[in-house]
Structure 1
Amino acid sequence: MRAIIYRDNGDPGVLELVDRADPRPGAGEVLVRVAVSGVNPTDWKTRSGATNPKQFPEVTPHLDGAGVIEAVGGGVDPSRVGERVWLFMATAGRPTGTAAELTVVDADRAVPLPDGASFDLGASLGVPALTAHRALTVAEDGPRRLGPGTLDGKVVLAAGGAGAVGHAVIQLARWSGATVISTISGPAKARLATAAGAHHVINYREGDPAAAIRDIAPDGVDIVAEVALGANLALDLAVLRTRGTIATYANDGAKPVQLDVRQNMTLNTRFQFLVLYTVGPEALAAAASDVAAAVRAGALPVGEEHGLPLVRFPLAATADAHRAVEAGTLGKVLVDVTP
């Protein structure tokens, strides 16, 4: 099989296209022929060594993907052979991810993909959708699961609604019944957030964004899904309701976070920091189940007309795909693995 590998941390130039022996699934595992691999910021950060040093002598990157199960290991229902699936957390604890024609994952990390859902959609789920689910299910008085009606009466603020996680926040929150506000930085991103399903978009670079959000939600926002906590904290606190939650999954721009303790005591602010690697198996399983239900309901479409442009690269150009994600390319970067 063809696979992308790297032996040392570094820039995208460390990625190589090589031939490797076909892997075989062990007990509790499935072998998947990957059609499309999804690239996330965590993939290039892991490759570069920015987050943690490399754990294995050779690594095939990428957590997310979609394809078809070709074989199963012991203890896995044989009827799953031929099943279309989307994959998540493929490289968590393993050296082999989805940037290969064949990959082995734990059976519970290969989620059935309906016939009407494309492999592009399947490869776009994973990190963005599971992160969005976690952000929307950590409020003190909010639901632990998502689905129609679970966020009725709630107001969700999706910071950076034109990004992959922000896009998933908008779609999952709207599917669950919330009123969704998204902050954006210009007209192009406003169009994408609106196409994703945001009820209201606010340009945080113009006028008084806090007043504009308060006009929509006089009692304040229940949940903020935050991508740049240092840059946006003042705005978040200005619009957060008492006992509201700020769930932060990134700090784009790396601006230091400074807290006014008394202000947050008075608000009874709940801060939830999150990363999927340590969120725990129960939260991952619940998120995968709810995201699968949203896919079956048609609630998570992708493509520019749905607010998430798809940017494609062939497997041999995976290094260019990483460069695109590092550069902040708007949309979801995908690698076509198997025609």
Structure 2
Amino acid sequence: MRAIVYTSTGDSSVLNLVEREEAHAGPGQVRVRIHVSGVNPTDWKRRAAQTAPATGGADDADAPAIVPNQDGAGVIDEVGDGVEGFAVGDRVWLFLAQHESDDGTAQDAAVVEAWKAVKLPDGVSFDVGASLGVPAMTAHRALTVHEDGPRRLAPGSLDGRTVLVTGGAGAVGHAAIQLARWAGATVITTISSDAKAALATAAGAHFAIDYTQGDPAAAIRELAPDGVDIVVDVDFIRNVGLVAAVVATRGSVAIYANSGSDIQIPIREWMGLNARLQFVLLYTVGDEALQAGVEDVTAAAADGALEVGDATGLPLTRFPLAETAAAHDAVESGTVGKVLIDVTAG
């Protein structure tokens, strides 16, 4: 079978297309025939050793062959011993496929622990399935860390709440807008251009504020005089002042990305707000949060609330499996929308 592998970390040139023997599902595992593989920033950062230890080297013949990419969607074609609830032919979406594993989704067939596979609801495309893992699961966690809840998302669970999504044109921001809107929140987003405002609005945002123009904090406060209850933030290092100016008393700020390592926080101001700063990293949120995310994200997808493509504000950029390196480069360079790899036709 075909697989993209790397045996040493570095730029995208370390990725190579190879032929290798298909692995079989062991106890507690399923094998999934991958149709679409999703690419996220975490994938190129791990390959480049920015978020994981360096792997191998030019002369390291014993280095493991690592297949990149955490997210994907496809069809189960083998079920290992002890696995319940799955059968050959089930359509599934995958998350954290490469977590604590060398076997990601950039290959014809991936063997994963069964808990990393989730049945894809009828009518939900492989494109949507491959776009759920990192973005939608991260967004779900960000929307459920407020001290006063909710801990789960469903239609009506965020009624009466105002959510601010900074960077609403990105993949996590897009999913956060969609999930918050599905759950009944009033959604405000910040963007940097009319084009990105159009994307955020297509995703379901009620209001899009251009943070490069005028006074964005005043514009947000005009829409939410009492402040925003939940902030889903893409760059707290740069946004700390804006967020402090608009978050409500006892509000929560979920921080899922960064543009550096150092920040100055006005402690007294945040203490007076009794605000909660919650850092979010999908790999360490814990089993309970992961399971809640799996169930709620799947329900939202079944309801048609997590669609992708131009019409819903998340343009798709596609590559064939052989061009996975170019797909990684596209994500690293900040391509707007979602980057997908077509692995198997159909």
User: Please, what TM-score do these two structures have when normalized by structure 1?
Assistant: 0.98
Render the CA deviation track for 1:179-231: whole Å, top value 9, x for unaligned. 00000000010000000000000001111111111111111000100001011
Say if 2:79 is the partner of 1:76: no
Q: Secondary structure at the match of 1:318?
A: helix
Say if 2:154 is the partner of 1:147: yes
Conserved? CA contact 1:62–1:90, under 8 Å: yes
Conserved? CA contact 1:131–1:276, under 8 Å: yes
Q: Could you tell me which residue of structure 1 aligns to residue 25 of structure 2?
A: 25
Question: How much does 1:115 deviate?
Answer: 2.8
Say if 2:124 is the partner of 1:124: no
326-335 vs 50-59, which deviates more?
50-59
Q: Could you tell me which residue of structure 2 aligns to residue 312 of structure 1?
A: 318
Conserved? CA contact 1:221–1:239, under 8 Å: yes
Question: Counterparts in 2 of 1:220-231, with a 5 A limit?
Answer: 220-231=227-238
Work out the CA distance in 2 between the residues paired with 1:54 and 1:126: 24
**Structure 1: stretches of 5+ with no match in the other structure:** none
Q: Secondary structure at the match of 1:26?
A: coil
Question: How much does 1:152 deviate?
Answer: 0.7
Question: How much does 1:28 deviate?
Answer: 1.2
Say if 2:224 is the partner of 1:247: no
**Structure 2: stretches of 5+ with no match in the other structure:** 56-62
Q: Could you tell me which residue of structure 2 aligns to residue 274 of structure 1?
A: 280
Work out the CA distance in 1 between the residues paired with 2:165 and 2:119: 28
Identity of aligned residues (%): 62
Question: How much does 1:255 deviate?
Answer: 7.1
Conserved? CA contact 2:122–2:302, under 8 Å: no
For 1:28, the aligned partner's letter is: G
Say if 2:37 is the partner of 1:41: no
Q: Secondary structure at the match of 2:254?
A: strand
Say if 2:209 is the partner of 1:174: no
Work out the CA distance in 1 between the residues paired with 2:186 and 2:311: 21
Work out the CA distance in 2 between the residues paired with 1:163 and 1:193: 9
Work out the CA distance in 1 between the residues paired with 2:68 and 2:97: 9
Cα RMSD, aligned residues only: 1.1
Which one of the candidate residues 205, 215, 218 is aligned to 1:208? 215
Q: Secondary structure at the match of 2:149?
A: coil
Question: How much does 1:54 deviate?
Answer: 4.3
Work out the CA distance in 1 between the residues paired with 2:54 and 2:152: 34
Question: How much does 1:39 deviate?
Answer: 0.3
Say if 2:51 is the partner of 1:51: yes
Question: How much does 1:23 deviate?
Answer: 0.9
Q: Could you tell me which residue of structure 2 aligns to residue 291 of structure 1?
A: 297
Say if 2:7 is the partner of 1:10: no
Q: Secondary structure at the match of 1:238?
A: helix
**Distance change (3 Å), C-alpha of 1:73 and 1:202:** same
For 2:32, the aligned partner's letter is: V
Say if 2:267 is the partner of 1:258: no
Render the CA deviation track for 1:15-45: whole Å, top value 9, x for unaligned. 0000111111111111000000000000000
Work out the CA distance in 1 between the residues paired with 2:129 and 2:166: 24
Conserved? CA contact 1:72–1:78, under 8 Å: no
For 2:24, the aligned partner's letter is: R
Question: How much does 1:254 deviate?
Answer: 2.4
Work out the CA distance in 2 between the residues paired with 1:80 and 1:291: 22
Which one of the candidate residues 244, 259, 263 is aligned to 1:237? 244
Conserved? CA contact 1:231–1:255, under 8 Å: no
Work out the CA distance in 2 between the residues paired with 1:291 and 1:63: 16
Work out the CA distance in 2 between the residues paired with 1:42 and 1:108: 20
Question: How much does 1:258 deviate?
Answer: 0.7
Work out the CA distance in 2 between the residues paired with 1:248 and 1:77: 36
Work out the CA distance in 2 between the residues paired with 1:91 and 1:197: 31
Q: Could you tell me which residue of structure 2 aligns to residue 115 of structure 1?
A: 122
Q: Could you tell me which residue of structure 2 aligns to residue 337 of structure 1?
A: 343
Q: Could you tell me which residue of structure 2 aligns to residue 191 of structure 1?
A: 198
Q: Secondary structure at the match of 2:213?
A: coil
Question: How much does 1:107 deviate?
Answer: 1.2
Question: How much does 1:256 deviate?
Answer: 3.4
Question: How much does 1:310 deviate?
Answer: 0.4
Work out the CA distance in 1 between the residues paired with 2:310 and 2:290: 28
Question: How much does 1:121 deviate?
Answer: 0.7
**Distance change (3 Å), C-alpha of 1:164 and 1:78:** closer
Work out the CA distance in 2 between the residues paired with 1:143 and 1:182: 21
**Regions of 4+ moved over 2 Å:** 253-256
Which one of the candidate residues 83, 90, 100 is aligned to 1:93? 100
Question: How much does 1:79 deviate?
Answer: 5.4
46-55 vs 292-301, which deviates more?
46-55
Question: How much does 1:58 deviate?
Answer: 1.6
For 2:321, the aligned partner's letter is: L
